[in-house]
Structure 1
Amino acid sequence: MAAAKRLSPEQIVAKLRDAEKLQGQGATIPQVCKRLGVSEQTFYRWRQKYGALKEDEAIRLKTLEQENARLKRIVAEQALDISMLKDLAKGNF
C-alpha cells in the first residue's frame, strides 16, 4: 500500500472547490472522488472539517491547531515539573 499523501489545508480547500464545480456539472460523489484521487471517506471528512472554509481561513485554522498543540505540551511539562517539585519538598525522592 502506498504511503498516504498529506495535503495542506489550502490544497484540501481547493480540491473541495473543484468538487463543488464537478457536482454542479452533474457528477456523482463517487465520480468526484475518483477525479480528485481520494476515497469517499476522505472526501466526507474533508468536507466536514474544511467545507465552509476559504483558503486563508484554512491556513489560520492549521496555525491555531499547531499553536494549541504547542501550548498543551508546555502545560503538560509544567504540570510534571510542579509534581516533581512537590515530591522533592515532601522528601519523597
Structure 2
Amino acid sequence: MEQRFSEARIIGFLREAEAGMAVKDLCRRHGFSEARHYLWRSKFGGLEVSTPSG
C-alpha cells in the first residue's frame, strides 16, 4: 500500500505541532485527522530525519 505522506513529512508535521501549532489547525492544513496525528506521534515521536551526507 502506498503511503500518502513520507516519514520525513510526517516528522515535519510532528515538529510543527511541537513548535506550538494547534493540532486541529495542523491537521486541517495538511489534510489528515487528529487521530492520525496521535498515531504518528506514538510511532514517530522523537525520531530525526536523516539526511544523506555528501
TM-score range, shorter chain: 0.5 to 0.7
Q: Identity rate of aligned residues, in percent?
A: 39
Alignment of 1:9-88 (within 5 A): 9-21=7-19, 24=20, 27-56=21-50
**2:17 & 2:30 partners in 1: Cα distance?**
8
**2:18 & 2:30 partners in 1: Cα distance?**
11
The answer to which structure has the higher helix fraction is 1
Structure 1 or 2, whichever has the larger Rg, is 1
Q: Which runs of 5+ in 2 are unaligned?
A: none
Q: Which has the higher contact order (CA 8 A, sep 6+)?
A: 2
Kindly report structure 1 stretches of 4+ aligned residues shifted beyond 3 Å.
Answer: none
Q: Which runs of 5+ in 1 are unaligned?
A: 57-93
Q: Give the superposed CA RMSD.
A: 2.0
Using the size of structure 1 for normalisation, the TM-score is: 0.44
Using the size of structure 2 for normalisation, the TM-score is: 0.68
